[in-house]
Homo-oligomer: A and B are copies of this chain.
């Protein structure tokens, strides 16, 4: 748990809104939020970090038995080898094929939360009324199709699990600004975070749960994650996005005594306009970073442009 003294929930939310709200910063029609911090210059310098050509996928496999328990992707075949064998496809010259389909909650695997995913009272990102933003037809203002080319930048891995936790952080551990800064210092110059970076925070929880062969404790129950108090750093550092290897980015249970859902989300998404990435598999990348001491890389993490989507399924690729 965090060692911060936190006041009442409502007070904390009110203070955070006052300090961190970015509404209007990028104009009234904005659909990119903090991705606006990335520009051509940033992308060009990020690409220059890809020196060795080692590439890492940061996505978990999408399966029926994955961590999105109760809401996992269901992949099924429309046509398969048996239909080809039975001659049912009716194709000449030995042609046969297989086709498939997926039914997928958009947050059931590795994904970005869209800007329309969370409301703060009646309002969504940039101060729009939630009813103007998300209806049964999806997100009309900030849907996934509007960030199609935007998730390309310098990535920085902050392995808080190793630096602070000696491998992984225990469930319920709230990552503070100080621990973020300590991790950066411990990892050295390549871990210095700059404007427009996409920051990947490794807690180690994903590897721990996978090792136990059971995702039950991953999708619900206590988990390590960012402290509500880290919003100061998330806002002030002007990063473009932050992702973790956990189900929900922020620490569970929340640090406030009173009942509370996801207070960090409530400030980060509709107020800061910050993109949060969840269930990123950082293990192979983190091993590589530990081995060579280089914690920066080109990150291309473009979600599927599902029109109106408030979740962005993604296969993020880090290239060192």
Contact = CB atoms under 8 A, between A and B. Distances in A.
A244 interface: no
Given A9-B93, A85-B130, A266-B94, A76 B136 contact: yes
Contacts of A103: 74, 101-104
A102 B104 contact: yes
State the copy count for this chain. Answer: 4
A71 to B, nearest CB: 8
A261 interface: yes
A74 B41 CA distance: 37
B305 A315 contact: yes
A152 B317 contact: yes
Interface stretch (A185-193, A222-230, A295-303): A295-303
A47 B298 contact: yes
A180 B24 CA distance: 49
Interface residues of A, number: 109
Contacts of A306: 61-62, 73, 75, 100, 102
A52 B81 contact: no
21 contacts: A42-B53, A55-B149, A57-B149, A59-B305, A62-B304, A75-B138, A76-B78, A77-B310, A81-B130, A83-B136, A84-B130, A86-B135, A92-B261, A95-B260, A98-B119, A99-B107, A101-B106, A104-B104, A152-B319, A300-B302, A302-B317
Given A77-B137, A99-B106, 17 more contacts: A42-B53, A44-B51, A47-B50, A47-B319, A61-B307, A75-B306, A76-B136, A80-B136, A84-B119, A91-B261, A95-B263, A97-B118, A98-B139, A99-B105, A100-B308, A109-B304, A303-B315
